[in-house]
């Protein structure tokens, strides 16, 4: 994994989470890192849905957790997820991009997918504070609108 510092994103940020974490997030007015060095955001709803498609929606696919252990994504239940549209509060902190490293000789389509994955996520080193009353968007209706084989960004 290769990190690079980036400029702080401007405007609204989007963060997907499970509904069972929502009350705690809203009560604290912050997104916590949950064992990671960073908390992760996207700069558009379309990017957030694409990131979900590349991660939590990949039932059974392997990933490395925050402790470095190999895991597999569990069954994806759209009704369990919400997307928060946040307006961040000013605070000191470092914004980073995590560049997915690929082995030499990997297929071009795999390399392109890794680049896309890296470009979707904006990491904040620390817990990100946000202004009260963020917009809470149910993930399920957005995903139901999606037609199989159609790019999510085209539907939104």
DSSP string, 39-76: EEEBSSHHHHHHHHHHTTTSTT-EEE-TTS-EEE----
Domains of the chain: which residue ranges? 2-147
List per-residue pLDDT tens for the chain, 156 residues long.
Answer: 589 999 999 999 999 999 999 999 999 999 988 767 789 999 999 999 999 999 999 999 998 887 878 999 999 999 999 999 999 998 888 999 989 888 889 899 999 999 999 999 999 998 999 998 999 999 999 988 764 544 444 333
Nearest to 76 by CA among 101, 89, 58, 96: 58
d(Cα 20, Cα 137) in Å, to the nearest integer? 14
Quote the pTM value: 0.86
Q: Is the sign of the CA dihedral 78, 79, 80, 85 positive or negative? A: positive
What's the CA gap between 142 and 148, in Å, rounded?
A: 13
């Amino acid at each position: 994994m290769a990190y690079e510092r980036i400029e702080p994103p401007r405007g609204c940020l989007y963060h997907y989470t499970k509904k069972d974490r929502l009350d705690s997030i809203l009560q604290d007015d912050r997104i916590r890192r949950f064992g990671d060095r960073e908390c992760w955001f996207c700069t558009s709803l379309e990017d957030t849905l694409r990131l979900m498609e590349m991660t939590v929606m990949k039932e059974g696919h392997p990933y490395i957790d925050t402790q470095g252990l190999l895991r597999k994504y569990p069954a994806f239940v759209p009704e369990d997820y919400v997307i928060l549209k946040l307006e961040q509060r000013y605070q000191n902190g470092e914004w980073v991009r995590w560049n997915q490293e690929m082995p030499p000789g990997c297929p071009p389509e795999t390399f392109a997918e890794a680049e896309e994955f890296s470009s979707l996520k904006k990491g904040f080193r620390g817990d990100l504070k946000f202004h009260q009353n963020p917009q809470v968007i149910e993930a399920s209706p957005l995903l139901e609108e999606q037609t199989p084989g159609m790019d999510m960004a085209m539907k939104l």
